[in-house]
Structure 1
């Protein structure tokens, strides 16, 4: 039976108090905060950044004037004569043997030694060679500006022509072992007393071999020095040029009071080998 009596306010207050005092079930708390994310670089405080070190500037490409070294060492053919090895010893030999100065032997040998001395001032170290099956090669050696091998034909003729260029091309095939088969490392030089004709220039330009031309007087004065595009591209002559300079009272191979030929590197005169002081170019 249900009691019809209404419960008083005291009983209601007691029940509310008992509910508050009753133990409550435990609840596990979880943090709603997301894991900390790295702060973007744009929001980070400014910090001094280390400056990247600049590499040192590359050295200037200046041709070396040091003595050429090759590995294995070059083996030169025997000298054509045991009686002389340079111009002074040849002149002494010619005087002892009364060699005719108008003979082809005297004129040719004298010119070869003269060219050897004249080109030495420009960094070419050459030796006189010759003999049977020499393919017309008169001088062999090296050039220290730049470091390459050189084979030379000297022609003491009054009328040089393009046929001499074709003869020099054959010398590449028949050159000694150290100078043969060196693609791009060998330059052939044609040396005459006269300047290059138009035909010689055109033959040099057409040639597939790296070649050059030198005009040298019988007194040892170099008056012309040129080379073809093959020599620039394959033998490293690009950047090398030719200029003229004034000659004083003691001007080496030049005529006193005149001018003489000098080699240049990127527009600047190169000193002659032997320490001769450079003078102002024309």
Structure 2
């Protein structure tokens, strides 16, 4: 039976909980008109994003090249480095059909940010009541993998810290509405910024409450190491700032010749499933 998730006054509306394989999925509860960026922001395109350079020691740029490098270097597949790097590339690949275009930027001075990029909602003219075109959302993303990783409110606090130390192009201020709040409040950025936390476990009650209290626009994604996204939810600040009203989440059942039957997250717009989008280069 569907139920709406709310957390006190700071209601964290990721919508109606759908039960599937013990992984609750949340969709936006009441589709509403999307709050697009201001006319002044949308009329002038943002400057091209400049991604930080990876450390020179990095010998890979996607999952396939990492696996080849790990084999040549004889990396221990149980090590923290191997598990973490593998999970980051896996996450980037499996979020691509949802409209994410992400690049791995982790390093000694990454301030906790593992992936940077954009999120273009896969809406088209065929979508019911599509919003006016707007700049893709800018994404700062943290991955948390490993058997010993504890999922709790402390991870939300870590992600809040990542907003403060984000690279140029992904900087914003807490509580802004996408109209002049990015890049130190200069008013020149047409794109909102959302922080995304991805873990191998479903969101706990503590995670949900921490998201609800946060003044930063945030989303949470449960993505097992297999890569099939099982849960996606966001807080009220993300809905307000990033124009996510009308967007929802549901599970789709599918069958693969190798894997067999499986489920994965599908985005919906005003209750209708959106098609996957082809992978893009960030």
Equivalent residues in 2 for 1:125-164 (5 A)?
125-145=101-121, 147-157=136-146, 158-164=149-155
Secondary structure in 2 matching 1:164: helix
Q: What's the secondary structure of 1:248's corresponding residue? A: strand
The answer as to whether partners of 1:212 and 1:228 remain within 8 angstroms in 2 is yes
In structure 1, stretches of 5+ residues that fail to align are: 1-59, 64-68, 276-282
Name the TM-score, length of structure 2 as normaliser. Answer: 0.69
Q: Report the CA distance between 1:245 and its aligned residue.
A: 1.7
Q: Distance in 2 between matches of 1:201 and 1:95?
A: 39
**Residues 230, 263 of structure 2: 8 Å contact kept:** no
Residues in 1 aligned to 2:46 and 2:68: alpha-carbon distance in whole angstroms: 36
- Give the structure 2 partner of residue 94 of structure 1: 70
Equivalent residue in structure 2 for 1:196, among 157, 178, 203: 203
Q: Which residue of 2 aligns with 1:211?
A: 218
**Cα distance per residue 1:175-199 (max 9 Å; x no partner):** 0010003743000000000011000
Please say which structure displays the higher CA radius of gyration.
1
TM-score (norm 1): 0.69
Contact 2:219 2:235 in 1 (8 A): yes
Q: Secondary structure at the match of 1:189?
A: strand
Aligned to 2:59: 83
| Equivalent position SS for 1:203 | helix
Structure 1 position 70, deviation (Å): 5.2
Q: 2:48 aligns with which of 61, 70, 73?
A: 73
Number of residue pairs aligned between Structure 1 and Structure 2:
208
5+ residue gaps, structure 2: 1-32, 37-43, 123-135, 179-191
Return the alpha-carbon distance in structure 1 between the equivalents of residues 265 and 137 of structure 2: 21
> Which residue number corresponds to residue 239 of structure 2?
232
Measured in 2, the distance between the counterparts of 1:248 and 1:105 equals 32
Deviation at 1:219, TM superposition (A): 1.1
Aligned equivalents of 2:167, 2:91: Cα separation in 1? 21
Indicate whether 1:120 and 2:111 are aligned: no
Deviation at 1:121, TM superposition (A): 1.1
Higher relative contact order (CA 8 A, sep 6+): 2
SS at structure 1 position matched to 2:230: strand
Cα distance in 2 for residues equivalent to 1:142 and 1:134: 17
Partner deviation per Cα, 1:225-263 (whole Å, 9 max, x = no partner): 000000001111111000112213459xxx633432100
Deviations 1:63-94 (A, max 9, x none): 9xxxxx95211010012443100000000000
Aligned partners of 1:142 and 1:148 also within 8 Å:
yes
1:159–1:194 CA contact under 8 A, matched in 2: no
Q: Distance in 2 between matches of 1:112 and 1:259?
A: 21
